Structure 1
Amino acid sequence: MTDQRMPPPDDAGLPEPAASEAASAEAPEDDGMPPAASFGPTPAAPQVEPASPDIDIVPASSMLPGSHRGGFFRLPTAPVAVTVQSAPTEPAGDLTPASAQWLAADEPQIHKGLAGWALAFAIIGLVVSLFVGWGFPIGLVAVVSALFALRRPLESRAVAVWAIVIGAMSILYSAGWLLYAALRANLFG
């Protein structure tokens, strides 16, 4: 095997470094790195065009989160403009199980039963008012809940009307008992 070493570099074709470069090459640098060799004049810096008016110029320092960025476009309580866009229509028979799972849920139904509760309170109020006069609050609850039931679209109107009638009767019986007790106690003279 032969020894294949590289020949030493030939400095004959390179230009002589300037005096300031030679002085800096001989002086040790403070970062511990050897000086970069200069093999000729440095190329000119590329020309940079100014920014076009379409580009927003970024400020020199970045803004902190939460800092003011120049103002508001509308008041916080101003109405928001609503734009209506037509949804793309799909054929009705083209629904697959994968797309059917993304359909909107049905509206929550109004629960029925208020008229039934009103009738139950009216019957209990009537039974209580047959024995004592202080059962009139139960009749009042029956009449008020029956009036609410009449305002709801899914409630039975007949049951609500019966609750109003029976609740009014329980209030009258309670008033009769209270009047009888007041007369017995000579409260009215």
Structure 2
Amino acid sequence: MTEIRAREVDPHERDADARPDRRIVDPATRPLEVAAETFGHILPDEPPPLVRHRPRPVTTLVVFAVTLASVGLIVSWFGPWGGGFGILGVLVGVVAHVRQRARRAWCVASYVIGAVSVLYSAYWVWWILDELSKLTPPA
């Protein structure tokens, strides 16, 4: 068997011509230089480490959009007036999503809540128009 020799290398005293692909990093100790002739290419091209991106912020504008859409939903339970708030909530959510790159989940929440409030308001309008059509004078 072949004898393997490794020597500790101080990063400050490292040779300028040493290739970084011949280095094995042991987390418990210092880096070790290994003879490339003995092992061949030990460390293949490693993919770059995963970079964790910071989450997008919850901006004031997107909170305002969700609040408007929620007010529209609550008001639309009692009458057709909540549809306007719902539409405003959706529009402000779109602006927050496009211009400020706010969190997508909050923007989607404003879209969904605003759309539901518009649907409730549309139901109220349909119901009111149906009731008004029944009030025709007798001929």
Task: Map 1:88-127; keep pairs closer than 5 Å.
Answer: 112-127=59-74
- Does the residue aligned with 2:111 lie in a helix, a strand or coil? helix
The equivalent position to 1:134 in structure 2, one of 81, 104, 110, is: 81
Return the TM-score normalized by structure 2: 0.52
1:153 shift after superposition? 4.0
**Aligned-pair identity (%):** 35
1:112 shift after superposition? 2.7
Q: Distance in 2 between matches of 1:156 and 1:177?
A: 32
Q: Distance in 1 between matches of 2:133 and 2:78?
A: 21
- Does the residue aligned with 2:133 lie in a helix, a strand or coil? coil
Counterpart check, 1:170 vs 2:112: no
Higher helix share: 2
2:103 matched residue in structure 1: 156
- Higher RCO structure (Cα 8 Å, ≥6 apart): 2
Higher strand share: 2
1:113 shift after superposition? 1.3
Q: CA RMSD in A?
A: 1.9
Deviation by residue 1:86-111 (Cα, 9 ceiling, x = unmatched): xxxxxxxxxxxxxxxxxxxxxxxxx9
Contact 1:113–1:155 under 8 Å retained in 2: no
Uncovered stretches (5+) of structure 2, i.e. residues with no partner:
1-57
- Does the residue aligned with 1:155 lie in a helix, a strand or coil? coil
1:154 shift after superposition? 4.1
Return the TM-score normalized by structure 1: 0.39
Uncovered stretches (5+) of structure 1, i.e. residues with no partner:
1-110
1:136 shift after superposition? 1.0
Deviation by residue 1:131-151 (Cα, 9 ceiling, x = unmatched): 001221101100100111110
- Does the residue aligned with 1:132 lie in a helix, a strand or coil? coil
